[in-house]
Amino acid sequence: MRPVTFNSLVRYTGSNRTGHWCPERMTVDTARQCIRRGRRGAATVLVYETTDRDGNSVHLAYVHFGPGRWSNAEFVTDIYEIPSVALTDI
């Protein structure tokens, strides 16, 4: 089973560009906990079902934290790419 791929985008206060961290791998359970934490923390959480480049079904979860969540950051957006097969195996 393919693990979840996690990406994080950050725009720092006073900067015109968005920083991007290298993709990280994590388990489905860890991704689910992070997404749930975003929902409890009043973040905007959006989930879409789509396919990847190879035609495999995936769920994309966007967790958007606005200003005030972290210091020196206008926003942080965490993106989780979750294989649909991983969700049905649980």
Could you read off the pLDDT of 34-58 as tens digits, one per residue? Answer: 889 888 887 899 999 999 888 989 9
Instruction: Please write the tens of the pLDDT for every residue from 56-83.
Output: 899 999 998 887 777 777 888 888 988 8
Q: Is the pLDDT of residue 89 over 80?
A: no
Name the strand (E) or helix (H) holding 36.
Answer: helix 28-40
- Per-residue pLDDT of 12-33, as tens digits, reads 777 777 787 778 888 888 888 8
The pTM of this model reads 0.79
Spell out the domain ranges in the chain.
4-88
Checking if the pLDDT of 1 tops 70, the result is: no
Give CA separation, 22 vs 19, 53, 60, in Å.
10, 19, 17
